[in-house]
Chain A
Amino acid sequence: MKKDIGTLMYNDIIIKNFTEPHNVGDLESADYEIEIGNPVCGDRIKVQLLVTDKVINKAVFRAWGCATSVATANIFCSSIAGEAYDNISQRQPLEIGQMLGELEPSQQHCVEILVELHQKLADTISSGVV
């Protein structure tokens, strides 16, 4: 991957997850679906999950947004795949924030996106809504 001074505004985590987002896709029969949107910047992220006994077997996403928010969606899916929900639910805000690496001020809103994805996951799993 090329990286020069022009891409310095994005850290390596964001660059990798944005340029090679391997969790992109749809599930034909998802157990759960999470959708968030930011009315200000217009970012939209939809995550679909396969879940067995509160273990996330598979997580895929579709996203329309800036580079960092697309990367955030991919990072979220990678971080929850194969994990027991109980482990995910114990993540602290600081830990969640660090998952994206160091961000420029204009990218900070993606930490809130990641927090919201975790919150929606919690709400969805606890309500059992498919």
Chain B
Amino acid sequence: MDQQHISGYFDYNATTPISDEVAQSMIPVLTQFANPSSSNSYSILCKSAIVEAREQIARLINTKKEKVFFTSGGSEANNWAIKGVLLQHIKKPGHIITTAIEHASVLDTIRYCVESFGFEVTYLKPDEQGVIRLKDFQDALRADTQLISIMYANNETGVIQPIEIISRLAKEKNIPLHVDAVQVIGKRKVDVESLNINYLSISAHKFYGPKGVGCLYIKDVNSIGPLIHGGGQEQSMRSGTENLVALVGMSKAAQEASLNVAQWDKDNWQCKQHMINLLKLAPIEIKFNGHIGFAAALSNTLNISIKGVRGEALAARMEMLHNYIFSIGSACSNNKTKKSSHVLQAMSMQEEDIQNSIRISFGRFTSIQAVEKFIETLIIEAQKLLIISGSRHG
């Protein structure tokens, strides 16, 4: 990995840089043209690579390989879990519980099921720190609740939801629980068996693997309908010739994550603590959006609002002048509509704070030195924007 090239990259929650080992693992497979489903000698290597990939993912989340089903990524896994469960109930559509802070692939899929088939939905709103209130969750449970879909960690704030308790309450009511774990896999250890989750979504490119590949953990294969009918791959649950190259890359990424996730988390936490300390000392007014503590939020994510500084303008100056990349909570769209973070809105944040918000996310290739340079530059550019706006005179 070209460390110099990515030292300015602070948008790991959007996607992570592919690791050298992952890239190298995929190269030999490029020429393996055999169809893994064929019964000839050419396909043996392909088949064994797929078995290996399934085992590596199973090891990463502590389950059996038979419960790992490959998909094209997190969005497909989310779509499958939701449609696969709900479409079994379309003759008698009931109730869904989700949150207002889910990824679009969850929210849009649920809206599709609601609008097309008549399901009812309860959107749980988080508190001001970004956490779903357990009382709200318990109050939302109904006799006809047919699915709960709640993310493990939020992509914008890094805030972790109380999945363990939610899972226990769901099990007591015998309601299937789908967890979008895309942002937490590779950042924290996830033990899907002890959590007793029914469905769990994973995306490889969020933990240093390739894009276009992921998986859905399915606790009980009989509890959900197939996603793609056809050739019978993935236990006839998701037909289609496997994307061998991507699966090998994901396999390597999963292996690396299994071995290193605790160390990565520790390193990220050091960077985050340092970042928080530097920001607290900065001569600009900063608000931390959502929980920032180790147990309550991912160690690689920080969402802040800088008073008087439009996030969009700050991101533009940081990229144009310094090649730094990070995300913003609000962007101009046009004069009639705006693109504001639905997550920060659901946390009841003031509109100006949302417009002033930025998301900083980093990972295994981020050094303390890179954090220091980044924050130093961020503060300088924020001060320049304060001068431009007249909030601070130069």
Contacts and interface: CB of A to CB of B under 8 A. Distances in A.
Contact of A19 (B320, B333, B336, B391): B320
B335 A18 contact: no
Contacts, number: 85
A44 B388 CA distance: 11
Interface residues on B, range: 20 to 34
A69 B323 CA distance: 21
A107 B319 contact: no
Chain A contact residues, majority secondary structure? mixed
Nearest to B325: A6
B335 A67 contact: no
10 contacts: A1-B321, A2-B322, A38-B335, A40-B334, A40-B337, A40-B338, A46-B390, A63-B389, A66-B313, A112-B335
Interface in B373-394: 387-391, 393-394
A18 B351 contact: no
Interface string B62-95: 0000000000000000000000000000000000
Contacts of B319: 6-7
Contact of B320 (A15, A63, A105): A15
Interface string A100-129: 000001111100100000000000000000
Interface string B335-348: 11110000000000
A121 to B, nearest CB: 20
Contacts of A43: 332
Interface in A1-28: 1-4, 6-7, 10, 15, 18-19, 21, 24, 26
A108 B335 CA distance: 9
8 smallest CB-CB distances across A and B, nearest first, come from: A62-B390, A67-B316, A64-B389, A66-B332, A66-B312, A109-B335, A41-B332, A7-B320
